[in-house]
């Protein structure tokens, strides 16, 4: 059950958190007037935030009362069409809670709150006061009522595990809420806001808790608690409130003990984003090497044949650089079989991942990729070959991948996706320079000549995110200013890309300012 809850928290909730902080955010309830509305309204807000808010509704009315209200609702309307208001009426009757205000706050207003903790201690190490402060972004200034749990966690000296030793549940309402039940209790090692992940909010821990968790997250015994804490650190990193390199070290250490697959995979993805976009530009080469070494060490230490071992090797393959002798040697030897990681199966998919990694550092050209394809020419392998060819770090290979992705109508959807992802996966420096302006010059053509889903794939996969973020932001803002009447779905895609570069610019500048 812990693993499932961790999956829901990291795999889904983070999707909602990201989309809810974009200018394109919208309330969970949104009118669907035509098919075009489905292109923009069924997204991370509807699905991921919606799921989290449903969990908050259960916590707000109480689990038993929630199911009592649901039972009454289903029986009363079993042969009828029913509305949201019909459901809320039954839940109000069962719980005594005011759900009209709740519905307005949670379903009809966009945006996300932040809840921060402030702890005052008495001289004897007990808590004098625990105060929660809720804020909202200026664009969506609504403060919500949250049913939330606060967990007290301590490190067990005998086991070395961080475990929950106490729990408080309360309503957080308005700007300031005092957790009166905490007063007089011994200050724990760590105070976890939103324990059990009952509500949907960003979190900011008190300073002592933040420092403890940064050093001991890998020792937390509960998978859901780890996921809640880790996602809070990821959010702080994205908001330029926590050093990128410290987040990387925290995450690498957590991966040494993490076994929940979705949390593991998402952490690896966020590591990549942090190392390549958020670290200070002058430090990126060194940090990339540090992360690669860390992943390789973890892969060698992972349980033989485990999901963790597979994910670590797969992630490691994304950190190759031209001329990196150790990386090239490791990948070539895995491919030839002269280097073996116990339990790691070099199946067809892994073999092609190794081929693509070598192509991306200039160690395999089209001829070598074609030779690999001839060994087993299948539909899947033709797709892998497109991705490998597009990854070759030459101007010619990138020009081919760009043209093929956009104009070659003979490609299957999967081949198109593989070529576009291969194109952008290592598009840096001089290779990226021609494509910043070219991308925005091509947006309209792609939208007009491709189906919605193919256009969405191309506009997201071909975005040259490794190029200069300042140039991407400037050109993107110019495009948006000149396309105010463009389809909302198209504008949303462009806005999402531009905002990712705007964030990268802000966060990397913050990290560059750190001593």
pLDDT per position as a tens digit, 296-321: 999 999 999 999 999 999 999 999 99
Q: Report pLDDT digits (tens) over 240-275.
A: 999 999 999 999 999 999 998 888 999 999 999 999
Q: Answer yes or no: is 120 within a domain.
A: yes
Distance CA(370)–CA(373), nearest Å, equals: 5
Dihedral sign computed on CA atoms, order 410, 415, 421, 422 = negative
Domain shared by 97 and 131, yes or no: no
Q: Given a cut of 80, is residue 93 above it in pLDDT? A: yes
pLDDT surpassing 70 at residue 41: no
- Please write the tens of the pLDDT for every residue from 210-223: 999 999 999 999 99
Question: What is the mean predicted confidence (pLDDT) over 148-152?
Answer: 98
Residue 262 inside a domain? The answer is: no
Residue 220 DSSP one-character state: B
CATH of the domain at 138: 2.60.40
Do 147 and 97 have their domain in common? no
- C-beta of residue 279 within 8 angstroms of C-beta of residue 318: no
Structurally, how many domains does the chain consist of?
Answer: 2
- Residue 403 included in any domain: no
103 and 122 belong to one structural domain: no
Q: Is the pLDDT of residue 8 over 80?
A: no
CATH of the domain at 78: 1.10.390.10
End-to-end, the C-alpha distance of the chain in Å comes to 42
Sheet containing strand 190-193, edge to edge, reads 162-172, 146-155, 190-193
Q: Which residues lie below 8 Å from residue 504, measured CB to CB, with a gap of 6+? A: 277, 278, 465, 469
Q: Is the pLDDT of residue 224 over 60?
A: yes
- What lies within 8 Å, CB to CB, of 62 at 6+ separation is 95
Q: Is 247 part of a structural domain of the chain?
A: no
Position 36 confidence tier, pLDDT thresholds 50, 70, 90: low
User: pLDDT tens for residues 383-428?
Assistant: 999 999 999 999 999 999 999 999 999 999 999 999 999 999 999 9
Tell whether 156 and 76 lie within a shared domain.
no
Domain that holds residue 32: 2-107
Q: Render pLDDT for 153-183 as a digit per residue (tens, 0 to 9).
A: 999 999 999 999 999 999 999 999 999 999 9
Those residues whose C-beta lies under 8 Å from the C-beta of residue 124, and which sit 6 or more positions away, are: none
Domain-terminating residue out of 65, 82, 107? 107
């Amino acid at each position: 059950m812990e693993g499932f809850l961790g999956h829901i928290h990291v795999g889904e909730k983070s999707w909602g958190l990201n989309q809810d902080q974009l200018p394109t955010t919208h309330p969970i309830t949104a009118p669907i007037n035509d098919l075009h509305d489905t292109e923009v309204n069924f997204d991370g807000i509807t699905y991921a935030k919606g799921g989290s808010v449903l969990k908050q509704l259960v916590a707000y009315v109480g689990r038993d009362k929630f199911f009592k209200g649901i039972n009454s609702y289903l029986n009363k309307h079993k042969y009828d069409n029913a509305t949201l208001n019909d459901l809320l009426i039954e839940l109000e009757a069962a719980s005594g809670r005011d759900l009209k205000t709740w519905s307005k706050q949670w379903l009809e207003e966009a945006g996300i709150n932040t809840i921060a903790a402030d702890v005052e201690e008495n001289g004897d190490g007990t808590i004098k006061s625990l105060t929660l402060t809720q804020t909202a972004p200026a664009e969506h200034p609504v403060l919500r009522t949250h049913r939330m749990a606060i967990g007290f966690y301590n490190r067990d000296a005998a086991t070395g595990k961080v475990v929950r030793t106490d729990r408080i549940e309360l309503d957080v309402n308005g700007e300031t809420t005092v957790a009166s039940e905490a007063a007089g209790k011994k200050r724990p090692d760590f105070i976890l806001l939103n324990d059990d992940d009952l509500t949907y909010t960003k979190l900011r821990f008190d300073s002592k808790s933040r420092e403890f968790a940064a050093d001991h997250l890998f020792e937390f015994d509960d998978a859901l608690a780890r996921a809640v804490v880790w996602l809070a650190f990821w959010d702080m990193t994205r908001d330029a409130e926590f050093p990128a390199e410290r987040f990387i070290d925290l995450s690498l250490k957590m991966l040494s003990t993490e076994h929940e697959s979705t949390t593991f995979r998402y952490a690896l993805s966020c590591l990549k984003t942090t190392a390549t976009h958020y670290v200070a530009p002058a430090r990126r080469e060194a940090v990339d090497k540090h992360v690669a070494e860390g992943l390789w060490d973890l892969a060698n230490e992972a349980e033989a044949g485990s999901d963790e071992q597979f994910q670590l090797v797969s992630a490691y393959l994304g950190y190759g650089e031209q001329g990196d002798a150790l990386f090239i040697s490791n990948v070539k030897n895995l491919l030839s079989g002269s280097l073996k990681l116990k339990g790691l199966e070099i199946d067809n998919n892994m073999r092609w991942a190794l081929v693509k990694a070598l192509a991306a550092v200039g160690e395999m050209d089209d001829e070598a990729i074609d030779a690999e394809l001839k060994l087993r020419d299948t539909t899947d392998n033709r797709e892998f070959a497109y991705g490998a060819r597009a990854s070759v770090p030459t101007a010619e290979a990138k020009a081919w991948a760009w043209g093929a992705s956009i104009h070659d109508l003979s490609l299957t959807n999967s081949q198109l996706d593989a070529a576009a992802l291969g194109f952008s996966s290592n598009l840096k420096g001089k290779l990226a320079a021609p494509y910043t302006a070219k991308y925005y010059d091509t947006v309209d053509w792609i939208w007009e000549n491709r189906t919605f889903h193919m256009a969405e794939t191309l506009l997201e996969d071909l975005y040259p995110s490794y190029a200069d973020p300042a140039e991407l932001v400037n050109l993107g803002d110019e495009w948006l200013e000149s396309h105010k009447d463009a389809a909302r779905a198209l504008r949303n895609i462009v806005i999402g890309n531009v905002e990712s570069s705007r964030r990268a610019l802000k966060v990397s500048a913050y990290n560059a300012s750190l001593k």
